[in-house]
Amino acid sequence: MSTPTHPAVARVLADLAAHGLHPEITWFDDAVTTAQRAAEALGVDVGQIANSLVFTLDEEPVLVLTSGAHRVDTDWLGAQLGGSIGRASRDVVKQATGQVIGGVAPVGHPQPVRTFVDTALNQYSDVWAAAGHPKTVFPTSYDQLVQVTGGTPTDVAPPEPAGAGGSEIRDD
């Protein structure tokens, strides 16, 4: 049986190889377009899923790699970055990354996209990211995500006050 291929996945693999990384791509039978579905398919904690979310920061596309365990607080993050953040349209996502929503990888884009990496991912030794197609993921680490993307480690939501046992909000 042959290994599936796709041009966007090939670009991701080439970009990772340029950084000395050669992960095995996991292909699923069906698209895993949410963190919860990906975590269930892999048998890992939802927090280990690195969602690749494209936003606009003052109209420029930015990539936020966030833990699947929570949502990006766009108002808070925008204030931290000194601008206004909004959700990017499908067209902006495709133009900036060369990939479709649900399969956006941290790398393999036509040109570099300013990237912010959720510090919450640092608590896991292994994290999983999309590999350029909605049916694909690859294993990596927080440090590798920061390195290969040239990303800035960033909190993506305000810290919970000490002693607050807030509810977990997932981006799925």
pLDDT averaged per 10 residues, the chain (length 172): 81 96 94 89 96 96 96 95 95 96 95 97 97 96 97 93 50 45
> Is 121 contained in some domain?
yes
For the chain, the helix, strand and coil percentages under 3-state DSSP, each to the nearest 5 = 30, 20, 50
> Is 74 contained in some domain?
yes
> Is 110 contained in some domain?
yes
Range of the domain at 31: 7-153
- Among residues 26, 33, 30, 31, the alpha carbon closest in space to that of 12 is found at 26
| Tally of domains within the chain | 1
> Is 67 contained in some domain?
yes
* Cβ–Cβ < 8 Å for 145, 121: yes
pLDDT of 67 reads 97
Q: How far apart are CA 18 and CA 12, in angstroms?
A: 10
* Cβ–Cβ < 8 Å for 127, 121: yes
> Is 115 contained in some domain?
yes
Q: How far apart are CA 89 and CA 46, in angstroms?
A: 25
Q: How far apart are CA 79 and CA 170, in angstroms?
A: 21
pLDDT of 93 reads 97
Amino acid at position 144, single letter: Q
Query: Could you tell me the CATH number of the domain that includes residue 96?
Result: 3.90.960.10
pLDDT of 83 reads 96
pLDDT of 4 reads 77
Contacts of 24 (CB under 8 A, 6+ apart): 138, 139
Whole-structure pTM value: 0.89
> Is 62 contained in some domain?
yes
> Is 162 contained in some domain?
no
> Is 2 contained in some domain?
no
